[in-house]
Structures are given as structure tokens and as C-alpha cells.
Amino acid sequence: MTPTTPPSPSSSLSTGAHDIRSAELAPGGRDRIEWAMRAMPALASIRERFARDRPLAGARISACMHVTTETAALVRTLVAGGAEVRLCASNPLSTQDDVAAALAVDDGIGMFAIAGEDRDTYYRHLRQALEHRPHVIMDDGADLTTLVHTTESALGAAIVGGTEETTTGVARLRGMAADGVLRFGMIAVNDADTKHLFDNRYGTGQSTIDAFMRATNRLLAGRVFVVCGFGWCGRGVAARAAGMGARVIVTEIDPTRALEAVMEGYQVLPMASAAAIGDFFCTVTGNRDVIRREHFAAMKDGAIVANAGHFDVELDLPALAELSVSRRELRRSLEQFTLVDGRRIHVLAEGRLVNLGAAEGHPADVMDLSFAAQALAAEHVFARGEPLAPGVHALPKALDQQVARLELDAMGIEIDALTPAQTRYLCSWRSGT
């Protein structure tokens, strides 16, 4: 979805308990959720505690997340804590319809998501997820937060706070706070160490390469792979592309990040130079118009282009369409654009988040960390007894470290503890050379 103003509410708001592709898909979703949950031990231990202590009893939560097996595990954790949850998709392409069916049929979740939904349906689903008038919202990209600050403010009247999953969403929230419009507190889960250092880097790295492979079945070894943006996600993609034997080129606008990329051993070039060299291109910047008309015009015949940033604005696809004489879907998740001179450029997953559009998103093992942090953040927002102050808040350090400890415990890994003398030393200044 593009981060533009949402369409105004339609008069035919459905009040149904769910809107999903088909309830008959539930058995397949059930099995896949079970498989994912086996790789999410930190979340499992939080779920056990939630089931005992019920810290979310009475909470109504509206979540706008990618509807995946891993999100299902998070939803079950919130429900175990006593919450009533409604869930809609945070991207029109990322919904796993079998998971949506299992959550609706087996768990009785208010489920509003269908893979491939159009923009109007996407926003109708967001409104339906809000119709139980949540106390807490859980967002991934800030579309839900934007909605309760624009056309659906009445549905957001009971909100005491929320959580935000992704870099782009946190940037939007900071924009809202800077404009003085953010009415409640939001925890920037993305900024927790146990989130972005792992999910953004290893999760995006693996799932993006997975998507390129599923959509193209092409060999990466020996090819030139251009990564646009060297944030945590970009460095994950670059590392994994290099691990597959690709020759990686990084493009950046930030001098420090560009220098880091150089020292990691990557070639750094402006996009204008990289465009003519790359076999594969992946944008991961969070910004718009990263690959533009002049770049498409310079690409080699056969170039493969995708976006792993949150919104589908990083590739200027209208410009590519204008340069093209024809376009057609050649394989699942792969559209071929033919330029006037016969060169063919291939776009994966319509330029939307490729790792969720052409693959299954991050593996459960890494989402365990992100969603353990989400569960603790939701508890922090609801169970502290008073609303968060309006603004963007960090996940408290103690909760961030709790997530890391739960994961280490599950892995059976022990670490050292500071001695009392070491603790004193770290706070002292008298002893030096």
C-alpha cells in the first residue's frame, strides 16, 4: 500500500465476524501454524505466563499485521493473556489465506484479510478490525494508527496506547508526533535491539533471498546483485546475497552507511552507475522513487527488480510501464515488462514487500524475538494501569533484555554475570592508568 491518505469510509461497512478467503482452508493453516509455533520458544514461555496471570484480561486489541503463521502464534499469545483480538492485514499481498481461516475457525478471532485484496477492501478490513473499539492497537507500517487519526477517530476513542512493528511505521509515527497530532503513546518495537538487530537483518536477509529464488529459480552465484539501502534490512540482504556467491553492489545516500558498506567489502556506486551493471536489484530504503525511469532505461535485458521496503513506492513502476510496450505475468510473482527496444525487465511481487509477496516472510525462529517483544510491549501498554503519554516510546530496556534471555534459555546457552567489583568498576571514574 502507498502511504497516502486512506479512502473515506464506505457506507457498506460489514459487521461480520470475519472476512476471509475460505473457511475450508483452515486445516492446512492449522498444521502450518503448529509447525511455526515449534520454532517460537520465547513466545511460548510468555504465552504460558499469560495463561496463568491473564495480564490482558478485558483488553480489546486491534492488530494490523502480516497474516502469517508467526502472527498466528502472537495472536494466540495475546488471547492466552485474556485479550479479545481482531486482526487485519498490513499488506494486501502478504496474507496467508489458510492462516486467516485457521484463526477465524479454530481460534474465533475476528479476521479481516484476503490475499490480493484491493485498496478499498484493505481499508474496509482495517475499519472492521477497529469496530470492536480497541484499547490497544498493534500496527505494522502505521496504516491503522493513521486511520484512527483521520477518518476513523471515533473507533479509536478507547485506545490507551499501541505498538509499532516496523522501521517505516516508526518513521511515520515520529512524523505524526512532530506534527503534534499523535494522540496516544506508541511503543516502537522495531527499535528494540532484539527486534531490528535480528528480524530486520537476518529475517529480511533470508526471506528476501528466499523470495528471489522462489519467484525466479535463477542462480545468484556469479551474478551482480544491487542492494539499494544499507540499513539493518539492507545489510541483511547484502550479506545473504554475498553468501549465495553474488557480487554485491550497494547504493546509499548516507555517507557513514556507504563507508560501512565499503568496509564490509561491497562495491558502492550511485544508482545511475549500478543500473547498467546489475542482474538483480532490491530496494530496501523506506523511501520512494529509488529506482526511477532513467535507471530502468539503463538496465540490461533480463534484469530482475524487487522491493523489500515496507511500501510499494520504492520502484517507480508507472515510469517503467510508460517505457514499456507490453507487460505480462510470466511466472507466479514475476511480471515481464518489454521496452520499446525489446529489452525485458522483470518485476517481482508487483513491487510490494517481496519477502512476503513472493515468499512466506521471515522464518518463525526470528519472528520469535520480534513477537516476544510485541507481546511484552502489549502487556506494558495495557497492564500498567494508566495510558502511555502521547508520543513514540522505546520498549523498556528490561523487557528488551528479557526477550534475549528467553531466547538464550530456549537455546540452552548460559552467559556470565558481572561480579560486584566489576559492577562498581563500570560506575567508577577514580581508577585509570
Nearest distance from C-beta of residue 68 to ligand ADE, angstroms = 4
Nearest distance from C-beta of residue 410 to ligand ADE, angstroms = 18
Residue 71 or 283: the one with the smaller Cβ distance to ligand ADE is 71
Which residues contact residue 406 at a Cβ distance below 8 angstroms, ignoring those fewer than 6 apart? 41, 42, 45, 46, 372
Nearest distance from C-beta of residue 204 to ligand ADE, angstroms = 7
**Number of other CB atoms surrounding residue 324 within 10 Å:** 17
Residue 211 or 268: the one with the smaller Cβ distance to ligand ADE is 211
Distances 428 to 47, 139, 420, 422, 431 between C-alpha atoms, Å: 40, 42, 12, 10, 7
Residue 301 DSSP label:
T
Nearest distance from C-beta of residue 167 to ligand ADE, angstroms = 11
Distance between CA 283 and CA 5 in Å, rounded? 23
Nearest distance from C-beta of residue 361 to ligand ADE, angstroms = 3
Residue 190 or 299: the one with the smaller Cβ distance to ligand ADE is 190
Residue 224 or 356: the one with the smaller Cβ distance to ligand ADE is 356
Binding residues for ligand ADE (CB under 6 A): 65-66, 68, 70-71, 203, 356, 361-362, 367
Residue 40 or 186: the one with the smaller Cβ distance to ligand ADE is 40
Nearest distance from C-beta of residue 169 to ligand ADE, angstroms = 11
Distances 115 to 48, 103, 277, 358, 359 between C-alpha atoms, Å: 31, 15, 34, 12, 13
Identify any residues that bridge with 337 across adjacent strands, giving them in sequence order. 327, 345
Which backbone phi and psi does 291 adopt, to 5 degrees? Answer: -110, 115
Residue 210 or 279: the one with the smaller Cβ distance to ligand ADE is 210
Residue 3 or 278: the one with the smaller Cβ distance to ligand ADE is 3
Identify any residues that bridge with 346 across adjacent strands, giving them in sequence order. 304, 336
The residue nearest ligand ADE at its CB is 361
Question: With contact defined as beta carbons under 8 Å apart, do 55 and 31 qualify?
Answer: no
Residue 123: in which H helix or E strand, if any? helix 119-130
Closest CA to 73 of 362, 352, 353, 357: 362
Nearest distance from C-beta of residue 116 to ligand ADE, angstroms = 17
